[in-house]
Amino acid sequence: MVKRCQPDSSVKIGRLHLNNPVMVASGTFGYAEEFKNFTDLEKLGAIVTKTITVKPRAGNPAPRTCETPAGMLNSIGLENPGIANFIKDKINFLKKLGVPIIVSIASENSPDEFLELAEILDDLKEVSAIELNISCPNLHKDKLISQDAQSTFGLVKEVRRLTRKCLITKLSPNVTSISEIAKASEEAGSDAVSLINTLGGMSIDVNKRAPKLGSWVGGLSGPAIRPIAVRMVWEVYNKIKIPIIGMGGIMDTQSALEFFIAGSTAISVGTANFINPGISSEIIEGLKKYMADNKIRSLREITGILKI
Amino acid sequence: MEAARVIARINSNNNFSGNYWHLELESAAIARRAMAGQFINIKVNDNSIPLLRRPLSIHSVSSSKIRLIYEAIGQGTQGLAKRKPGEFLDVIGPLGNGFNLSKTSSKNSLNILVAGGMGVAPLVFLAERLKLSQPLVLIGAKSKNCLLCIKEFKSLGSRVELATDDGSLGFKGKVTDLLKKTLSTIDHRLSTIYACGPKAMLKAISLIAAENKIRAQLSLEEHMACGIGACLGCTVQTKLGFKRVCHDGPIFLSEELIW
């Protein structure tokens, strides 16, 4: 049987093999169980969990979300059950899916918490990769780790020493040069970079003359930020060799393709999960059709093929 | 009962008074499973305007039909008001927990439904489910033009009492004051309160319920992004930690909430 017409949509992120390049972005998919009625979870390329911290975290005051033109602001504030409860209550469901599980982690007070979390996760065979969320805009910090190349380099290097698992660094767009931070991640041993996290934003209720979000400011996501994300993927692609996981306002197959052409090896669907909980499966099918229609055998053929 | 995403036909979408609209959708899958107090999450348009779905309480169901009422006040509901019969809406539902009706069968128990403004929406469905017990319904609003669904409650056999802030109809004052007055005149030991309305009203009802040692089931509202428990955008503080209005609620016992 000759398989020449069967497009191969599998990709590699470091030593991590994905059957297809469509992942779901941290914070937009809970711990996957929430979506079981609405999509074939087993078909996803990978699942990135809601960010986990060492201790349980309550999160920010309400209102935590507000809609903006073609987008939304959120200030959830990393509400999560903490690593121990995550392992106790959430991981069993995830591991049964047979899909690579990428656990997103963050620190609350000290960067050492990243190391503590990485050591714990390194021992769990159910976990395929670790994503360092050094770019959450909702922690009321003056400066994020991902807003400084040296801090990024230092943290990634220390975590790298503790784990052989695939290590992904998630970057913030709220910087003067995202390429510098991406390079620092690469030099420190990150297997891949995820970009972009949300953009800092604010929305005001003019009648109350008050912020619409309970913690005043939040992170902007959705189609409104897509052009910024695509541009950043393209910029970074030209500066680093490790794979890019592209995200930011991907709503359908067309917008996913923009990210591949700009230089992404894989993509993550975020805000779109809230609107259509089955969108990731639809994009997986859409990409296969695009590959078949255009006689593309492997997605590697279109990563970064932007014509200029 | 499990929720599903369905493409539902619009049977009718009518402006019945002021900014208030009646919407009827065709979906046997949702109508069959729906419980009083649950909601559906509607994609108003196929584009990004607005981007997110809009949650609306289920107002009533019959075989394959779901009826909703809404006030066209924001981008989402104004967009919804433009949708025509024969068109289709992308809908997820039924969502949320619904009212707990397991303890309402006792003969001596009085079910008191308290609605503030648009809070009538899920309570008509509830009054239908509780109709054998002939519930007492208290409806409050700013003025008489904003008092909704009086006839619907009466046709379900409920006794209806009204309150308006401006005194244009019924008791002059807040519906919560009407509730206090009512409770002082009856033997309410076995009563249950079911309430839906603005946050301040629900908070006041929590206090009244605690003072009178009555159980109250409150239908809460928060901004939601996903409606299925994933985004953690709609959480409220409870004695057992943060809970999600969309998934753990929207119905909460008054004693579990921290205001």
Residue A66 lies in a domain: no
Q: How confident is the model at residue B103 (pLDDT cuts 50, 70, 90)?
A: low
CA–CA separation, B23 and A199 (whole Å): 37
Q: Per DSSP, what are the bridge partners of residue B163?
A: B140, B171
Q: How confident is the model at residue B28 (pLDDT cuts 50, 70, 90)?
A: very high
CB B16: neighbour CB atoms within 10 A? Answer: 9
- Which amino acid, one-letter code, is at B140? G
Query: What pLDDT does residue A137 have?
Result: 80
Among chain A residues, CA nearest to B5: A38
Shortest CA gap A186–chain B (Å): 30
CA–CA separation, A260 and A108 (whole Å): 33
Q: Residue count of chain A, please give it.
A: 308
Residue A70 lies in a domain: no
DSSP state of A88: I
Residue A136 lies in a domain: yes
CA angle A26, A31, A35 (to 5 degrees): 100
**Residue B90, H or E segment:** strand B88-95
Q: Phi, psi (5° rounding) for residue A151?
A: -60, -40
Q: Phi, psi (5° rounding) for residue B250?
A: -75, -5
Q: How confident is the model at residue A1 (pLDDT cuts 50, 70, 90)?
A: very low
Residue A4 lies in a domain: no
CB B199: neighbour CB atoms within 10 A? Answer: 14
Q: How confident is the model at residue A2 (pLDDT cuts 50, 70, 90)?
A: very low
Mean pLDDT of B132-151: 95
Tokens, residue A112? 């050492």
Shortest CA gap A243–chain B (Å): 27
Share of chain A above pLDDT 90, in %: 93
Question: Number of folded domains in chain A?
Answer: 1
Q: What is the pLDDT of residues A68-96, one digit of tens each?
A: 999 999 999 999 999 999 999 999 999 99
- Which amino acid, one-letter code, is at A12? K
Chain B residues in contact with A58 by the CB 8 A cut-off are 241-242
Share of chain B above pLDDT 70, in %: 97
Residue A47 lies in a domain: yes
Residue A211 lies in a domain: no
Mean pLDDT of A163-170: 97
Q: Angle, to 10 degrees, between the axis of helix B175-185 and the axis of helix B199-211?
A: 20
Chain A residues in contact with B48 by the CB 8 A cut-off are 70, 222-223, 251
Q: Which of A37, A59, A223 sits opposite B232 (nearest CB)?
A: A59
Chain A residues in contact with B50 by the CB 8 A cut-off are 67
Q: Residue count of chain B, please give it.
A: 259
C-beta of residue A226 within 8 angstroms of C-beta of residue A250:
yes
Q: What is the ipTM of this complex?
A: 0.93
Residue A2 lies in a domain: no
CA–CA separation, A129 and B179 (whole Å): 56
Chain B residues in contact with A278 by the CB 8 A cut-off are 5
- The residue range of the domain holding A246 is 11-61+78-202+220-301
Tokens 């996803």 sit at which residue?
Answer: A44
CA–CA separation, B16 and B203 (whole Å): 30
Average pLDDT of the residues of chain B: 95
Q: What is the pLDDT of residues B59-92, one digit of tens each?
A: 999 999 999 999 999 999 999 999 999 999 999 9
CA–CA separation, B242 and B84 (whole Å): 39
CATH of the domain at A186: 3.20.20.70
Mean pLDDT of B134-157: 96
C-beta of residue A49 within 8 angstroms of C-beta of residue A42:
no
- Dihedral sign for Cα B135, B136, B142, B148, please: positive
CA–CA separation, A30 and A170 (whole Å): 17
> Mean pLDDT lowest for which of A29-33, A98-102, B132-136?
B132-136
> Mean pLDDT lowest for which of A127-141, A272-286, B96-110, B227-241?
B96-110
* Catalytic residue status for A136: yes
More confident position, A10 or B102:
A10
Q: Is the pLDDT of residue B190 over 90?
A: no
Q: Which of B49, B235, B241 sits opposite A62 (nearest CB)?
A: B235
More confident position, B102 or A76:
A76
A79·B225 Cβ contact <8 A: no
Q: How confident is the model at residue A302 (pLDDT cuts 50, 70, 90)?
A: very high
Share of chain B above pLDDT 90, in %: 91
Shortest CA gap B109–chain A (Å): 36
Residue A247 lies in a domain: yes
